[in-house]
Structure 1
Amino acid sequence: MGLDYYKTLGVDRNASDDDLKKAYRKLAMRWHPDKNPDNKKDAEAKFKQISEAYDVLSDPQKRAIYDQHGEEGLKGQVPPPGAGPSEFFGGAAGTKFRFNPRSADEIFSEFFGGSSPFGGGSSGAKFADVFAAFGSGRSGEASASALRKAPAIERVLVCSLEDLYKGATKKMKISRDVIDASGKPTTIEEILTINIRPGWKKGTKITFPEKGNEHRNLIPSDLIFIIDERPHGVFKRDGNDLFVSQKISLVEALTGYTVQLTTLDGRNLTIPINSIISPTHEEVVQGEGMPITREAPKKGNLRIRFQIKFPTRLTPEQKAGIKQLLAPS
């Protein structure tokens, strides 16, 4: 299925010639490959689509055919109204409208007046000169290079420790003001998808470029989500390590203890400790901490600390028994 030219330019089907020019001016300046050096391939494809749409809709004959027969009418077997024989290939059985799309650069140069409005030079002048001069010529609009960008909008995105351990997908619904093809502000709603990667930390930023409100002569602000971490009932995170505390009796500390834990991804861990557990003892389980985002599948460590419950009182008999058991041999 071909392009929807009206949708590509962001105008309605009753758009005037002035509406088309405003829409093309805005989109062409935004998506020209020279203005998108870090995303040149995608920008070039978008720029070509914008140019093709404007080329068709700004030409009354092409637009009439497109409105009646769609892209097939332009590139297929449907003749234009009142067209003469010289405008077709073949005979009556297979006539075609002679539609030869022009290059995007040619359309851009023609629209902005080639080199002449910007101080002379050859027709092949670099488009960087056009960008620098845009607004000082006939359009009367502000220079694209001089447009100020609105301050970034930051929002906190609270995630559970399980989400940050396993990874998750969050859908965020936003409303923002945009300027339509007629120059009037309107409110639209969008769903943004945030893919939480395993191991992301508090403070990680996810940026959606230019998703803020649109204003005249102002580049929309970036929308930035900042990861925050919801406290967990069992585990505490420190960098790539996870800490957990276990309450044990004095008898267990002296005679042995088995730690039973359910991990953040639902696995059951059994960790036997046969040595004496002192109040400062820390049991380290390698590779059972948080995923390390840039070193997958590597993980940090699980660190187990112990709270030893001492008895509040002992009977004389218990004291004598303990002395006998612990007396140096």
Structure 2
Amino acid sequence: MYVLAKLDVAKALGPNEDSINTAEAIAKVVGADPSALYRLMHSTAVEGLFREIIDDTKTGVFGHTPLSMELLDPLTRDQTLCFCGPGFYRGWESLEESIKTGKCQYQKATGYVDYWDFLTKHPDDEYIFKRSMSSITINSVKRLSELGDFKQFNVVCDVGASEGILLKEILRTYPTIKKGIAFDRPTVINKNVHEANLDPRFSEVTGDFFVSVPAADCYILKSILHDWNDESSAAILNTLGRSLNPGGKVYIMDYVIGLPGYTAAQESHIAWLDMHMLQMVDGKERSKKDFDDLCKKTPFHVENIIISQLKADMWLSNIVVLTK
């Protein structure tokens, strides 16, 4: 999948579901060996990714399937490059050491301290990671923006906001919010490109959430704390606690292990995501009890967990609400 996405084979095959092309012609476009590319496309066609067309006059003729059409979407391609790329799959080679020690052993497999260190030293991969995370966010922003009661806040700060997609949706949904702050590292913020009619309430601030964050009435941590172990997560929450305005809240948008109503597929997704977090960055998915225990090291407590009724897919559908 990674090689097909990297070479952009689906795009070279053609732009629509009726497109037909030969492996030889595609190989010329993407710069590949015709025979080797045919073998790869044949192998993935057996699994349903492409459709191999038997033609008495030509060999190696392929068409699209619904799966290969997905790779024409730049966001899906970015996710494939990220999730199937060397920064992810090579990190799993040291799983045995991680299980034995209980700590992320990414460095033993890759030579980098963790996945964050890998991204720091590979700017192109960092950009793809940012884009793939944004593509995931796009699928859940409407649900999450409506799930949280943001109308009670004047200043909302999305910590680790990336391109600010969630924050923009929140500002669209709640016109009473006076200011929205997208907070992230300079290497992320400085590469952002925004639409011409950007909401004047939207602003960007660079920094380090282990050091300081702008003052706000509500902090959003979407898919942030699961990237970190308990010690680091407590440090992040303590940073937020020092700047949170009186009466403010923290909205943690992470999966919660053991919530009622999960399907077997959702439980499987969360369980393997938990293993992935351990292996890549020494992070974890958490249960309600885990969040309660984490808060004991901070000025916060879990006020409640807001759960959406729309839980038929894999996208985030809950918010853990923290207050002082």
* Larger helix fraction of residues: 2
Which of the pair has the greater relative contact order for Cα pairs under 8 Å at 6+ separation? 2
Task: Tell me the TM-score range normalised by the shorter chain.
Answer: under 0.3
Name the structure with the higher strand share: 1
TM-score normalised by length of structure 2: 0.24
